[in-house]
Structure 1
Amino acid sequence: MNFAASAPAHETLTLAADAQDLLFNEAHTAHTYTSEPVSDAQLAAIHELVKNAPTSLNSQPLRAALVRSDSARDRLVAQMAPGNRPKARQAPLVVVLATDLDFHETLARVAPHVPDARELFSDETMRHESAVVNASLQIAYFILGVRAAGLAVGPMSGFDAPAVTEEFFPGGRHRALVVANVGHPGPDAFRPRAPRLEFGEVFKTV
């Protein structure tokens, strides 16, 4: 099959074309934001939309810290890579997205259909790997949820993860994975889209 000659996505997918544009085709990482705030009500609505993201045994290890106070913002910006500091300083909301490395302690409640769910993750190395993978899935859904709310998001990995973890999730149970700026895009918020790999470069049939 010649995938390069296949029909455009808007003609082959069930998702409406305007929704495809909002979530994917016209969505960009934002680099500047307006001062318009992001409310807890908006975040709660985003959570309701994306909380059904798939995770192993419904583990749901994602945890998030909403950085709203000036003092918390100062502490976070100090741990960001130099190129990310202006963006983290200027965005109306910054969210530290982390994983709960001991998510297995809540499995009895969220995975009652698996009686031995907690025991399945008794091995620490395997549990921590699962925590990172499944929280990363949830982070991807969170990004889509922010876009669905009409907001822009700028996920960043350029920061001192151990320091940010200790600052916002002390105690050793969590690990910061991504810092995300959230808000309405400001002037010149978007850069030209960089090239993407083609289907044949990503997928293979075995």
Structure 2
Amino acid sequence: MTTINQAAIATLFTEARTHNVWQDREVSEETLRELYSLMHYGPTSMNCQPTRIIFLTTDAAKERLKPALLPGNQEKTMKAPVVAVLGFDTEFYEHLPRMFAHNKDAKSLFEGKPDFIHSTAFRNSSIQGGYLILAARALGLDAGPMSGFNNAAVDEEFFPDGKVKSNFLCNLGYGDASALFPRGDRFSFDEVCTVL
């Protein structure tokens, strides 16, 4: 693997920000497809890929989400060009014969083990959500991930069969940099890391 240049590092990490105010610019379905085509290469355990995404791109679709949002998240979400509802498939293991084909016993590791299924699906969908944010930034989009919503209400509205459970939401679009808050502090390496 090669090291990416400083401009790419800035785009993905050091200069990227979480946005709450959005420019009135459309995000095309083609861009969303390209975003997914990037994020889906990121690793997950046993290549399980549990994330399921619903991209809300119309006012009507976003209105369906609005009652589940905490009040402080409603306006910014309604004004975002796209809201990604990220969920995790609790039956992801059914696809392991295809996705993890070299291990013929992979599916059986999960069958009848709801806690193991949930922890694996939730963890890996969270990881995939991180890939979504980085893929969005790589394509020139800004992201506003959030967890301030009623999961049960989102599940009932968007995943009514009960197989998929919501993880988090991520607003996507072109952020208004003039409305950014000052960047919050970050822990230093020595505060949170240990090398053994």
Q: 2:89 aligns with which of 97, 100, 103?
A: 100
Q: Is 2:90 the partner of 1:89?
A: no
Choose 172-181 or 69-78, whichever is displaced more: 69-78
> What is the number of residues matched between the two proteins?
194
Backbone CA RMSD of aligned residues: 1.2
Structure showing greater Rg: 1
Q: 1:184 aligns with which of 171, 174, 186?
A: 174
The whole-number CA distance in structure 2 between the counterparts of 1:26 and 1:150 is 12
Q: Are the equivalent residues in 1 in contact too, given 2:59–2:78 (CA < 8 A)?
A: no
**Alpha-carbon displacement from aligned partner over 1:142-194 (angstroms, at most 9, x marks no partner):** 00000001010000100001110111111111111111110011263321101
Q: For residue 78 of structure 1, give the secondary structure of its aligned residue in structure 2.
A: helix
Question: Which residue is 1:168 aligned to?
Answer: 158
Q: 1:25 aligns with which of 9, 14, 37?
A: 14
Q: 2:101 aligns with which of 112, 133, 148?
A: 112
TM-score by length of 2: 0.95
**Alpha-carbon displacement from aligned partner over 1:1-33 (angstroms, at most 9, x marks no partner):** xxxxxxxxxxxx922000011110110001111
Q: Percent identity?
A: 39
Unaligned runs of 5+ in 2: none
Question: Which residue is 1:200 aligned to?
Answer: 190
Q: For residue 135 of structure 2, give the secondary structure of its aligned residue in structure 1.
A: helix
The whole-number CA distance in structure 2 between the counterparts of 1:169 and 1:83 is 24
Question: Which residue is 2:66 aligned to?
Answer: 77
Unaligned runs of 5+ in 1: 1-12
